[in-house]
Amino acid sequence: MIRYNIYATLCDSYSQYIHARQIYNEYWGNSDSPKLTEDEFVEQQRKDFIDRINRVPFDSIPADRGTAFNEIVDCLILGQKSEKMIIESDKQAGTINAFYNGRNYTFPISVCREFSAYYKGSMPQVYTHAVLPTIYGDVMLYGYIDELMPASVHDIKTTGKYSAGKFKNHWQHVVYPFCLNQNGNMVTDFEYNILLINERRDRASYETFTEHYAYDADEDVPRLRWHVESLIEFLEENRGIITDLKVFNLHEK
C-alpha cells in the first residue's frame, strides 16, 4: 500500500529548507545589512516549504520565466503551437515572446533554437513514477521529465545567478533515473541544461552551462531513501498544518 506521494521537486524544496543556513551564509553571510537574520531566513524557508506541500499558489517571475522558456523549447521540438500560453516570434528583433500569467517573456531566437536542436528526437514532458520502499512504508515518487532522450535525461533550468554545482543538492538527477530504471528504462546519464540570464537596464545577455550527473543505484538509492525518510518525518511532525492530503495518499474529505 502506498503511504505517501512525493514529487521530485518537493525533494528539491526540502533540500533547500534543510540547507537553509548554508544558503544564507553563501548569499548574505558577509552582508552588513541583510534583509533577514539567519533565523528569520530559516523560518521563511520552512514556511515556503509548507506552502509548497500545500500547493499554495504563488506569483514568481523567475519561475514563470522558466516555464515560458521551457514551453518555447518544447513547441520548437514538437513543431506545434502552445496550449498553455501565447508564443510569437519577432524575426526583425530576433526574439521569441511568450505571454504567460499576464507578463511577456522575451528570449533570443538563437538561444531557443540552440536548446531545441540539442534535444532533437527527445520526448518532452514525460511523466514517470516508481515506488520507493522506506521504513515508513512505500512511497510513490513521481514527476515530469523536461526532455527524455534515448540515452539521457535532461532538465532545463533558467537562473539569474549561477556557480558551478548549483544543482548538486537537487534530487531530480536521482529521482527521475530511479523511476525510469524501476520501469525497465536503464538510463543513467542526467544533465541540467542551464540558461543564465544576465539582465541589464538596456538589454539582457545569455550564457549556457551544463551540469552532468551519472546515476549509480548502489550509491544513490540509499541516499534517496534517507532523504525521503527525513522528509516524511517532517511531514508527520507538521501533519496538523498540512492541508493537501495527497502527500499522505489520502483524499480530501
Per residue in 1-50, pLDDT (tens digit) is: 999 999 999 999 999 999 989 888 877 777 777 888 889 999 999 999 99
187-198: average pLDDT: 98
129-160 burial: b if 16+ Cβ within 10 Å, else e: ebebebeeeebbbbbbbbbbbeebbbbbbbbe
* Average pLDDT of the chain, as a whole number: 95
| 253: pLDDT strictly greater than 60 | no
The string of pLDDT tens digits covering residues 203-238 is 889 999 999 999 999 999 999 999 999 999 999 999
Read off the pLDDT of residues 125-157 as tens digits, 9 standing for 90 and up. Answer: 999 999 999 999 999 999 999 999 999 999 999
* 89: pLDDT strictly greater than 60: yes
Domain extents in the chain: 2-57+121-244, 59-108
| Beta-carbon contacts of residue 198 (< 8 Å; ≥ 6 apart) | 160, 204, 205, 206, 207
pLDDT > 70 in the chain, percent: 99
The pLDDT of residue 16? 93
Residue 163 has pLDDT above 70, yes or no: yes
What pLDDT score does 252 carry? 61
Find out if CATH 1.10.150 is the number for domain 2-57+121-244: no
